[in-house]
Chain A
Amino acid sequence: MGVRVAMEVSIAAAEAAKLADVDVIAAYPITPQTHIVEHLAELVADGELDAEYVPVESEHSALSACIGSSAAGARTFTATCAQGLALMHEILFIASALRTPIVMMVVNRALSAPINIWNDHSDIMAERDCGWIQTFAENGQEVFDLTLHAFRVAEDHRVLLPIMVNLDGFILSHMIEPIDIPEKEEVRRYLPEFKPAMRLDPDRPISMGPVGIPEVYTEAKKQLDEALVASKGPIIQAWDEFGKIFGRHYKPVETYRCEDAEVLLLTMGSISETAMTAVDIMREKGVSVGLIRLRLWRPFPLDELRAAVKGADTLAVVDRAVSTGGPGGPVCSEVRSALFGLPNRPKVLGFIAGLGGRDVTLEMFEEMVNQSIEYAKEGKEQFYELVGVREL
């Protein structure tokens, strides 16, 4: 048996990486990710973790170093957010295309400008097409669990893809929550030693990342797309295995009080806990409402989402980022696309809330649900609106 301790969620993420026995950490500190890499640097400096800590000069270098270390056969970890993730942009696509199983925490924060260090999902939504597996945690325990899960999935020879574990900046990363920390032996049972499928080795030279002329580029993209889509099986399997060993069960899409619900909210990340409370309050008042939460964002859980919305009249999607000038928030656009052509699909309404650290309150969820019911009566499907924006 492990222990249950009160711990800052960032520290829990670092402790998970430690229990995963990482070999290399290359990272650059940036608020609100700092505590994760600071704690790992301490663990390495104090001799509690036998790993190479590479203090690079930028996030571009951080991820480049991670690709090198992963290609050399080392279990590799990093963390970043917002501007740091944006600075990694070009390297993100290379990490997935080279099939390096790096694990990265993304502590979601708003992108500048205006400069804003607080939480929303504009950083990750700008990177959704980079070929990484992407999961979203709701609470501290899930951050810890998804980190262990990430190593297991990334290094699975049927997968071999990098993974981002997303957690909301401050409102999750800086909370102190009770975390169940398992014994090292249990973690070893779940997470075998990293055996690279292919690695840089002077005795058996290979080239990773050669030029891909027009005759091969399409095939290379197809290979990556197929790999990402096919990773869903091993992702679910690794969650099932996690449940067997640690007793906590995870799925790509969670539903809460969705049975016979007329209106469904759809959220990602830590606001889902507030949304569950809002659903309880509204259910007390007799509103027929439920909640869908996407834990898995890439690969997109198409079948699970379609099954979850079955029977509902109205689906209110809560985005945490603006697709400026686009047809809706990024999550809403994808959900619409996923349900397109589905018989008896619910009307999809887009709400964008909680930008740059603005609170998403219980009352706001109630407003969104009431608004959706009204729109549904009018037979209206708006593209999107910004909740709580001041129209003065």
Chain B
Amino acid sequence: MKASEKTGGIIGWKDLELGCALIEPGTSKGFKTGDWRSQRPVTDKEKCIRCGLCWILCPDMAYRPTEDGFFDSDGNYCKGCGICARECPTDAIAMIREE
């Protein structure tokens, strides 16, 4: 068992890779960056025309296509910038304050 697994990803200096390098690709997926968000997008599926603009325009690639053709935003990465809500052609996305 690696030290990082025991400590939930927090490691000491002895376990850092040489020069703090990342030795496997795609690790930013595991880095949850959305916790400081003050508002989150909520899509009204009645109004949504499934055009995918929110998915295309999201600067953090927080949107994912779902099986039924809609798009969900992932709270682990969404920063609440509101670009999706502003650009939605049918005003289907509302920005809700995080409690």
Chain A interface residues (CB < 8 Å from chain B): 97-100, 160, 197-198, 205-210, 212, 215-216, 218-220, 222-223, 226
| A-B pairs with lowest CB-CB distance, top 4 | A99-B19, A219-B13, A207-B22, A222-B13
Secondary structure type dominating chain B contacts: loop
- Closest Cβ of chain B to A168, distance in Å, is 32
Is the beta-carbon distance between A216 and B20 smaller than 8 angstroms? yes
- The CA of A98 and the CA of B22, in the complex, are separated in Å by 11
- The CA of A160 and the CA of B20, in the complex, are separated in Å by 13
Is the beta-carbon distance between B10 and A215 smaller than 8 angstroms? yes
Is the beta-carbon distance between B21 and A207 smaller than 8 angstroms? yes
Question: Nearest chain-A residue to B10 (Cβ)?
Answer: A215
In the complex, B30 has a CB within 8 A of chain A: no
Q: List 30 A-B contacts (CB under 8 A).
A: A97-B19, A98-B19, A98-B21, A99-B18, A99-B19, A100-B19, A160-B18, A198-B17, A198-B18, A198-B19, A198-B21, A198-B23, A205-B25, A206-B23, A206-B24, A207-B21, A209-B19, A209-B20, A210-B20, A216-B16, A216-B20, A218-B13, A219-B13, A219-B16, A220-B13, A220-B16, A222-B13, A223-B13, A223-B14, A223-B20
Is the beta-carbon distance between A206 and B21 smaller than 8 angstroms? yes
Chain B residues with CB under 8 Å of A98's CB are 19, 21
Size category of the B interface is 10 to 19
- Closest Cβ of chain B to A100, distance in Å, is 8
- Closest Cβ of chain A to B15, distance in Å, is 9
Secondary structure type dominating chain A contacts: loop
Chain B residues with CB under 8 Å of A99's CB are 18-19
Cβ contact of A97, chosen from B13, B20, B22, cutoff 8 A: B20
Q: Mark B1-20, 1 if CB is under 8 A from A, else 0.
A: 00000000011111011111
Chain B residues with CB under 8 Å of A198's CB are 17-19, 21, 23
Is the beta-carbon distance between B20 and A220 smaller than 8 angstroms? yes
Chain A residues with CB under 8 Å of B24's CB are 206
Cβ contact of B16, chosen from A197, A206, A223, cutoff 8 A: A223
Chain A residues with CB under 8 Å of B17's CB are 198
- The CA of A275 and the CA of B97, in the complex, are separated in Å by 73
- The CA of A205 and the CA of B13, in the complex, are separated in Å by 23
- Closest Cβ of chain A to B68, distance in Å, is 34
Chain B residues with CB under 8 Å of A205's CB are 25
Question: Nearest chain-B residue to A220 (Cβ)?
Answer: B20
- The CA of A91 and the CA of B31, in the complex, are separated in Å by 27
Assuming the A-B contacts A216-B16, A220-B16, are A210 and B22 also in contact, with contact meaning beta carbons closer than 8 angstroms in the complex?
A: yes
